[in-house]
Amino acid sequence: MKPFTKILFVASFVALSTFTACAGDTTQMKKPSGQLLPDVDNAGLKLPAGFGALVVTDKLPAARHIVVNANGDIYVKLEKLKDGSGIYRLRDTNGDGKADEMKGFGNYIGTGIAIKNGYLYASSNQEIFRYKLNDKNEVANTSAPEKIVTGLWDHHQHSSKSITLDNNGNIYVNIGAPSNACQVKDRTKGSPGQDPCPILDSAGGIWQFKADQMNQSYAQGVRYCTGIRNIVGLDWNNETNDLYAMQHGRDDLHRLFDSMYTDEQSSVLPAEEMFRVKKGSNFGWPYCYYDQFQNKKLLNPEYGGDSKKQDRCANVDQPIYAFPGHLAPNGLLFYTGSMFPEKYKNGAFIAFHGSWNRAPKPQAGFFVVFVPFKNGMPDSNWEVFADGFAGTEENRSSGNAKHRPCGLAQGPDGSLYVTDDAGGTVYRIVFKKS
């Protein structure tokens, strides 16, 4: 943020605070238009001191990933069509941060969305499309995208495709394994793990394609890394020039193996892992999982594991960070803006969708966390950055969250955007004090 804008911003915030203090009922107040100010209740979010939040819109069902163009236009990918459209462009015409114009296009549902080198990229659960941006930085033709990738596995479970691009003309897409642990019969007690797991040929990893070639499928792509159950949050880190990704770890250790895992252990195991991905990385799924208490990859019980044995898992690639189990990391973003304080620079924001597999223990997550980074590696412990999405404590513990964080994006001014695929809200988080 430029110094002048910052002064204006702070000044207007102070002015509003004074005004609201006199007015009494803050909920009835209309904010002056044209000023970027947090909502009076910070959109219901709990944030660190100095941060504020506003609702950009609350009318986008199943809002998944999000990207903000250099001109401030926001693009959101939906997992449910709204009036026949699966992508929405939100535009704030008066500078107050609220979406004044909403324009839908793209008649397919999906998760992934990204902007790179003059194109908007978006994914369905099987394909990736791109739309050329014109000289006004707008999608030139919303009804005629180019199909660059097609025919990816969509077997319902873990079918969403997330995308990110490097600086070398490549696009990366996760292909989630339609399985929990590659058992002969998925999630069925007593069914053994398949060895080798045939899923890994076509899913359970991240694939690399060319960002500018048409109709690519498995034959034209590269399996960039393997041994991953499912990814939703992934991001290219321009500081290190590496791909980072967040795994959704396996479910049901207790239900399937109650003699080895208590429901207490099963509620936090295995870890949700953060990977720094290199070409050819193998993170071990379905044979291995990461135990964040023993700090190592262990053999899954479907493959003869006993909650202690490592065996073949001693040699697979390790996570660079481990979170408690089942929190469901759906968004990953490396922050490069200058609006937030220095400690956030190049660190990772992660949107946790929230758990369901912790039952009968209380569910958890439904928040956005921050991990400080130094030289491309986590530098200290994670902290909750934005909380309160679930609503009440009862909503959180039962899993009936009002809002579930999913996608993350950074605006040109350094604002952080968060989508919610349960309540349909897009949040904008700003820093309001220097």
Partner 1 sequence: MFKFFAITAGVLILAGGSYCASAQTKPAAKPKTSSSIPAATMQRGKVVYESECLSCHQANGQGVQRMNPPLVKTKYVLGDKKTIITVVVQGLDKPVEINGETYENVMPAHPNLTDQQIADVLTYVRNSFGNKASAISAADVKSVKAKIK
Residues of this chain that interact with partner 1 (CB under 8 A) are: 62, 79, 156-157, 159, 185-190, 251-252, 254-255, 258, 356-357, 359-360, 392, 394-395, 398-400, 404, 422
Q: Residue 173 Cβ, how far from partner 1 at the closest point, in Å? A: 19
Q: Please say which residue, 63 or 148, places its beta carbon nearer to partner 1.
A: 63
| Measured CA distances, 96 to 32, 92, 409 (Å) | 8, 7, 18
Do residues 267 and 363 touch, judged by C-beta distance below 8 A?
no
Angle at 352 between CA 351 and CA 353, to 5 degrees: 110
* Paired tokens of 178: 């339609």
Question: Can you say whether the dihedral through the CA atoms of 166, 107, 153, 408 is positive or negative?
Answer: positive
Q: Please say which residue, 158 or 276, places its beta carbon nearer to partner 1.
A: 158
Query: Which residues are bridge partners to 235 per DSSP?
Result: 244
Q: Residue 98 Cβ, how far from partner 1 at the closest point, in Å? A: 27
Question: Can you say whether the dihedral through the CA atoms of 22, 26, 29, 31 is positive or negative?
Answer: positive
In a 3-state reduction of DSSP, which class is residue 409?
A: strand
Q: Residue 422 Cβ, how far from partner 1 at the closest point, in Å? A: 6
Q: Residue 129 Cβ, how far from partner 1 at the closest point, in Å? A: 22
Q: Please say which residue, 212 or 394, places its beta carbon nearer to partner 1.
A: 394
Q: Residue 156 Cβ, how far from partner 1 at the closest point, in Å? A: 4
* Paired tokens of 277: 């991905």
Q: Please say which residue, 338 or 395, places its beta carbon nearer to partner 1.
A: 395
In a 3-state reduction of DSSP, which class is residue 253?
A: helix
Q: Residue 121 Cβ, how far from partner 1 at the closest point, in Å? A: 23
Q: Residue 188 Cβ, how far from partner 1 at the closest point, in Å? A: 4
Do residues 82 and 110 touch, judged by C-beta distance below 8 A?
no
Q: Please say which residue, 170 or 363, places its beta carbon nearer to partner 1.
A: 363
How far is Cα 260 from Cα 95, in angstroms, rounded to an integer? 56
Q: Residue 68 Cβ, how far from partner 1 at the closest point, in Å? A: 26
Which candidate, 333, 283, 338, 290, places its Cα nearest to that of 310?
Answer: 290
Q: Please say which residue, 3 or 190, places its beta carbon nearer to partner 1.
A: 190
Q: How many helices (H) and strands (E) does the chain have?
A: 4, 29
163: CB partners within 8 A, 6+ apart: 112, 113, 114, 121, 123, 128, 171, 172, 173, 234
Query: Which residues are bridge partners to 373 per DSSP?
Result: 378
Q: Please say which residue, 103 or 361, places its beta carbon nearer to partner 1.
A: 361
Element (H, E) at 22: helix 3-23
Q: Residue 426 Cβ, how far from partner 1 at the closest point, in Å? A: 18
Please return the burial class of 40, using the count of CB atoms within 10 Å of its CB with bins 0-12, 13-18 and 19+.
Answer: middle
Q: Residue 291 Cβ, how far from partner 1 at the closest point, in Å? A: 19
Q: Please say which residue, 80 or 147, places its beta carbon nearer to partner 1.
A: 80
Which candidate, 419, 414, 411, 322, places its Cα nearest to that of 368?
Answer: 419
Q: Please say which residue, 306 or 394, places its beta carbon nearer to partner 1.
A: 394
* Paired tokens of 36: 């970027």
Q: Please say which residue, 115 or 231, places its beta carbon nearer to partner 1.
A: 231
